[in-house]
Amino acid sequence: MILALLLAVAEPQSAIDAERTFAADAQKIGQWTAFRKWSTPDAVMFLPQADSAQKFLKGKADPPVAVFWWPGRSYVSCDGNTAVNTGPWVREWGKSVGYFTTVWKRQGDGSWKWALDHGDSLATPRAEGGDIKPRQASCAKPVKALLPKLGLTKGGSSGTGVSDDGSLAWRWFIRADGSRTFEALIWTGLSWQVVISDSVKAE
Domain boundaries, the chain: 8-200
pTM over 0.85: yes
DSSP 130-168: SS--PEEPP-SPP-GGGPPPP---SSSEEEEEE-TTSSE
* pLDDT single digits (tens) 26-65: 999 999 999 999 999 999 999 988 999 999 999 999 999 9
Domain 8-200 classified CATH 2.40.33.10? no
Beta strands 39-46; 112-122: pairing state: parallel
DSSP 116-140: EEEEEEESS-----SS--PEEPP-S
Please count the other Cβ atoms lying within 10 Å of the Cβ belonging to residue 36.
18
Give the range with max mean pLDDT: 30-39, 126-135, 177-186: 30-39
- Rounded-to-integer distance, Cα 162 and Cα 198, Å: 18
Beta strands 112-122; 96-106: pairing state: antiparallel
